[in-house]
Structure 1
Amino acid sequence: MLARAVREVEAAVQRGSVTGSVRTKFQAIALVAREERARARADEESSQSHKAEQLKRLDGIATILARTAVRDSGLLALLGEDAVVSDSARALRTEMLRAAGIEPPPVEAAPAEPEEAPAAVERRVVPQSVVSRQLANPFLAPDFEAARQVTSRPHRLAGWELLQPLFNSFERAGGGAPACMALPFPTDRFTPAGSELMPHQGQLVAAAAQGHRTFLLADEPGLGKTAQALLAAEASDAYPLLVVVPNVVKTNWAREAGRWTPHRKATVVQGNGETVDGFADIVVVNYEVLDRHVGWLGEFGFRGMVVDEAHFIKNKTSQRSQNVLQLSERIRLRTARPLLMALTGTPLINDIDDFRAIWQFLGWIDDSKPLGELMDALEATGLTPADPGFYPAARKCVIDLGIVRRRKVDVAADIPARRIADLPVELDDKAGRSIRAAERELARRLVKRYRSALAARETATEYEGIDVDLVRKVAGWELKDASGSDTGENVFGMMRRIGQAKAGLAADYAAQLARSAGKVVFFAKHVDVMDVAEESFAEKGIRYASIRGDQTPSVRQRNIDAFVNDPDVAVAVCSLTAAGVGINLQVASNIVLAELSWTDAEQTQAIDRSHRIGQTMPVTAWRIIAAQTIDARIAELIDSKAGLAARALDGSDEVFSSTDVQLEALVALLTAELSLAH
């Protein structure tokens, strides 16, 4: 039962579908596995061989849990000793035990407590320092009358569905359409002595100083969004300031606050918040622990909120998104003009609809309609969605609310160019032959499924050529089945095997670069690929720093510092998901991508750890591609999707499909096989 459940979770995470139910199942599995391990060890009636076998199987489940958690830092936090066990996880644990024929002991049930009001439950974790702050400032009760009241009562557009047309206005953007609000002349008035802003950074700070208060800061990675956000808060006096970030960049944000706003005290929320300074001006908290702190954070009196890597909240059903939106709403209810900033270098991952949660965080829309200034601006156009001119006008209305998008090529010409170079490798060994055989088996299975579906149609007429719609349906069925099965070959398993087969070759190439060209950043998606690379570097006498998702922020930062500052540390071995955001590795100008991501955005984020302000050399990303395998097809698909964010925000004329790469890979595989048959 545990093995089946953990495979389901692993498959969901591989697809990038980490929903609330997946998190619940993950935590329930961890609870049951721990209990079973303790029970097996304490079982004196079983033989030693039986006990060893049980523990071995539990170790296998624990390994899958750990391997899966590395792919998503939110899951990793659930494995911590201080992780709060949700009620839904407790309930699912009980169901799992009973399904396995084990009656849960009463002692394992949640302790009986007096019923609490929802607000009290939310505040179940309140750091002592925050209590001290509240006691020291007894007159800090929120003044809800200070919040701006919406007085406009639009009527002309009241009956129109406006959200989807607003999203569509970005898809319809033509070449040369503006991608950035009008910005004033840059200022350095708020820049501390000894530091210097680039002109594009000073422009955003000037906008905040002039009274602008909501920003979707979507500058390309490497253009210094952290500094802009901190100085915008200074310019708008948005203190106390809440900063919500991925766990991997929490330490870096505290450092940057010390650099750009040295006179403001910053505190970082760790675990249950025992070390929080309740009197700090800047509170930095990561998404993964936000749920246990959302109560006191909502009543702290913040006048500004920054959400870093804001594409993390694109799934509105996720707990992290709901927490962020709840905090944003509380701040807007009690502060007349709060500073709200969403920072992301990759504002679109798969679809224009990814904008929805970010716009809602900024207060531009709610679940069903535009709000406040946006509705007023749409009314002022005098147009409706039935008018051809509505879409460019609506897009401009949204951009003027605070979308700021600059590209390196436009504002940072002093940053050297970057390029992606593909290095095809031949997998001629046993592993390579096995992978190609597995790919052929998958293709044959898809063809068989396609032909069965074709034959099962009510209209028995013979179909000429390839039914493209049916091909896509078959690919979708296969993808769905692959997510819930650990048997047979599927696209996820093959990509992992390909990564393992490429690991040694990619490490060899990285070692050559390190010897000839200086420091190298090595990115991989799976832990076992990183393990192979690190073993290879150790055998070659090459010192490396390891940056992984299972490290504490302090260990991760220590390893980053070693790579950046120690001339003898030649390679940074990085997790594509854990180190792909928020860290600065511009001491290296060569990057090796040992495994492919499923999105161009993730790949770009990784490259931009080195291609950013402070880089003095041209940056080359060496993508290791397994020739004559599905790896090569997926590389092409990733490249074909690369323009989606540019098209929506930069007004590019090119049109790119936003469909899922995994599905498209299967479509390409089946189409090629059917073409051979015809």
Structure 2
Amino acid sequence: MARPTKRRPDPARKGGPRRQQRDRSAGSTDNVGILPQLAQAVREVERSVQRGTATASTRTAFQVVALLVREERARVKEDAMPEARRTEQLKRLDGIATILATTAARDPSLFSLLADDAVLSPAAKTLRREMMTAAGMEVEEEPPPPEEEAPAAPDRQVVPQSVAARQLANPFLTPDFSAARPRRSSAGRLANWELIEPLLRSFERGGPASSMDLPTPTTLRTRDGRELMRHQAQLIASAGDGHRTFLLADEPGLGKTAQALLAAQAANAYPLLVVAPNVVKINWAREAELWTPRHAATVIHGDGTTIDGFADIVVVNYEVLDRHVGWLGAHGFKGMVVDEAHFIKNRKSQRSQHALELSARIRARTPRPLLMALTGTPLINDIEDFRAIWQFLGWIDERKPEAELMEALDETGLAPGEPGFYPAARKCVVDLGIVRRRKIDVAADIPARRIADIPVELDDETGRSIRAAERELARRMVARYDSALEHRRSGAVVDGIDHELVRLVARWEREEDAGGEGGNVFGMMRRIGLAKAGLAADYAAQLAHSVGKVVFFAKHLDVMDVAEETFAKRGLRYSTIRGDQTSAARQRDIDAFVNDPEVAVIVCSLTAAGVGVNLQVASNVVLAELSWTDAEQTQAIDRVHRIGQAEPVTAWRIIGAQTIDAKVAELIDSKAALAAAALDGEIADAQASADVQLEALVALLTDALEEREG
């Protein structure tokens, strides 16, 4: 059955300290609770800064007041209280926040204390507890320190050696303002209006405009002769015509990665910085090699010791951005792309702040840089999330529209509340660079069914152990090859590698340990599947957030277990199809996925759900593990790609980079014709499976022998 998202019980629904805290804080008297203490403390901070005496204790009080205002605002918004009381409380909190802002404007060093990752000193923790206790609030227990505490942000900063070499090769990297446009003034008819909220609301109340006008492309080929789809060529032509900011919100499967890379080439926006989720960063380098082969790409792993500091395209994942933000900001980038841009929706999060900081530094250094935010999330969902994206693109700042947007709004002649303002305001934002196409809109451009590979880096301890096991398997086969070569009776001499003997050794290996779980090709593929499980589930969750229902396939139950745990942590409801289900339970889960809009994912066994199931309510399939045959893979995809499917179908294969997984994927594709011919015959299909297993071992042994002799 569909797994509902579990909710923790709310202790405020019963009696106890937290309920008492809420009663005191939300009572009818204004002089109880935390607000009076915050008001008194912020006035003391203000007077201290006005006197020019921002001592350490003043800075501590400023930070604690800001923290408690943030917490109290969240509590007031969630608490059950009369609306009038809520409005009054929020108004008082806004007054305190305004004093904090004006105080920080007098002493800008205070702004650093407002960051999400600002360290809370022991003195600040003590003051926070004292203020909460005095207000009658429940103070949570101080958690024990972790065994190995992560170092503070400055200590994590690194500068890879190759980057230092680039800086020495060109130590000046002076900004180029030759293409700068005259700076616009943001003053105008609407200068004193609150405009951010009306702009956001315009996407809920405004007209139908959801995508900017794009030029007609003059060619459907890249500079290197690769064919483009028309919708891709349109965006690239826009970049070539001089447009420099894009919120590219095409649905997954429409080639956003290729469009971004080719737009950078059209705009000559090199060096280009790409910030992407870990699960797709290897794919960015691969796509760059495919679409813009003249521009080298490098991927940052960990501290970046292996990167090429002279590359045109630098790819970094959100998780390690914090330790590289220093040198990235000074590298002289002329373009920046954030992939899965909804990752930066929370402007208080560290990764959002780093992305915004890098964008601001690039815009300050390079006039009219290329800035692209990629996300498949529909524009009308969670519109508040787009504040950070618009800020990244330079359309707004924290409080108001930037000059270009302000000028466009001013030219409408309308103000918030007037008839026609919302459609006009929406169009002003859209024209800055929002591009949104759905699969169904460009169905003529794309095939009805396509398979897209997503290579993922298994760079943790599990990944290292898998690669070590592959090396051990190769070493074992090499030893067997050498022994057979030494003792064979024919006496024949072969110059170089004896490929017939290689195949024979591979066949021995497969037949002696077929289906085992040890250090053979079967065991390794299972370990690779388990290592990929979390990454594959993360990608499926991103798809579900972007385009709706997703079908997730895996071969092994432990991989399905990891996926289901991941979806539960992400708050996604899911169904499941397993071989050990009763027919009734299986049908309930299928019905839940098909009919319940809240069930976002169905987790399927390749063997149990590969046939006889109709899941065409979805158009995206994630293959977390590789099958041994193209036939089995095709049968899985055909659960979605069926008669009656209204949209093109995309199957996303998650491939373990630098492992035998990648070779198996190549072999499956190369034998697709044989597998297709075998769809109706189990014997032929089994033969296709055996061929892939044998060829994988042959490739592993051949590579090891070539490496030894090379």
Structure whose alpha-carbon radius of gyration is higher = 2
TM-score by length of 2: 0.47
Of structures 1 and 2, the one scoring higher in RCO (CA 8 A, sep 6+) is 1
